[in-house]
């Protein structure tokens, strides 16, 4: 029997996933010209058209906010959102578009939290990211400040930080503190490397992923996602009843 499994495979072939089961994408960069995502309004419309074709009902786009690089404000982001919505209406696109932000954890983020100038989505959710080089020394303090001010923090692409790879106690500590965990769908493709792919699979197996996102910057990201329609771990994470995307 084990010999036959090696020849024919032990996993049954899965039917291609219908992306409509996800309903909402909550991590992307679709407002043109304000970060490293969409470069033009035509780019934004092409990406939103593709999201709609894939079955998504809503996109919550999240431009970068970084004190030393992407100095986006709520006015810049929401102003850009309205321009994209107007263009969508002219093009006849029916997918819903909202905007929040992906905040880089730095001193500027702490200032925004204190001033209550943080863009949120859903039930006061805030998406934030860390440096990929080292864990910021203030990360737990910032999480405490977010929760104290009534925000619900979501750590972006948790599987991509090398200092959290297989560090289950450290990740579980975040969960105990009330942090939700977001996973990039394309991590399952190997796009960010084999270690990230493995970490993504293990997080899904543990049931620790609360929300998934495209982290879409360009059309290649959505095309890559389509190649995952029969991926077992993608099926597994989308089947979780508590997956936040379905309720946004």
Across 27-113, where does the E strand assignment appear? 58-61, 64-65, 96-99, 102-104
Give the pLDDT confidence score for residue 71 in this predicted structure: 95
Q: Which domain holds residue 101?
A: 19-247
Instruction: Please state, in angstroms and as integers, the Cα–Cα distance from residue 124 to each residue in 147, 149, 246, following that order.
Output: 10, 10, 16
* Arithmetic mean of pLDDT over the chain: 95
CB 118 within 8 A of CB 151: yes
Within a domain: residue 104? yes
pTM flag (> 0.75): yes
Model pLDDT for residues 143-154, shown as the tens digit of each residue: 999 999 999 999
Across the chain, where does the E strand assignment appear? 24-25, 58-61, 64-65, 96-99, 102-104, 125-129, 152-155, 180-184, 211-213
Within a domain: residue 52? yes
Give the pLDDT confidence score for residue 11 in this predicted structure: 62
- Span between the terminal Cα atoms of the chain, in Å: 45
Give the pLDDT confidence score for residue 10 in this predicted structure: 56
Within a domain: residue 81? yes
Region 197-203 average pLDDT: 98
Q: How many domains does the chain have?
A: 1
- pLDDT at residue 5 greater than cutoff 50: no
Q: Residue 226 belongs to a domain with what CATH number?
A: 3.20.20.140
- pLDDT at residue 2 greater than cutoff 50: no
Region 177-197 average pLDDT: 98
Within a domain: residue 4? no
């Amino acid at each position: 029997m084990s010999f036959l499994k090696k020849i024919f495979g032990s996993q049954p072939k899965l039917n291609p996933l219908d992306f409509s089961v996800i309903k909402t994408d909550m991590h992307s960069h679709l407002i043109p010209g304000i970060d490293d995502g969409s470069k033009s309004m035509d780019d934004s419309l092409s990406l939103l058209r593709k999201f709609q074709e894939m079955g998504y009902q809503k996109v919550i786009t999240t431009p970068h906010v970084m004190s030393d690089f992407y100095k986006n404000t709520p006015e810049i982001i929401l102003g850009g959102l309205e321009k994209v919505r107007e263009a969508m209406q002219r093009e006849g696109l029916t997918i819903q578009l909202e905007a929040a932000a992906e905040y880089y954890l730095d001193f500027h983020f702490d200032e925004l939290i204190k001033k209550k100038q943080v863009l949120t989505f859903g039930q006061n959710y805030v998406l934030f990211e860390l440096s990929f080089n080292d864990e910021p020394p203030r990360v737990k303090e910032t999480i405490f400040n977010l929760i104290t001010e009534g925000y619900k923090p979501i750590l972006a692409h948790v599987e991509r930080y090398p200092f959290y790879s297989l560090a289950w106690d450290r990740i579980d500590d975040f969960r105990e503190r009330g942090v939700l965990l977001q996973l990039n769908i394309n991590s399952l493709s190997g796009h960010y490397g084999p270690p990230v792919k493995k970490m993504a699979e293990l997080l899904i197996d543990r049931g620790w992923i609360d929300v998934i996102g495209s982290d879409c910057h360009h059309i290649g990201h959505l095309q890559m996602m389509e190649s995952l329609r029969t991926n077992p771990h993608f099926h597994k994470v989308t089947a979780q009843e508590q997956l936040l995307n379905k309720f946004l």
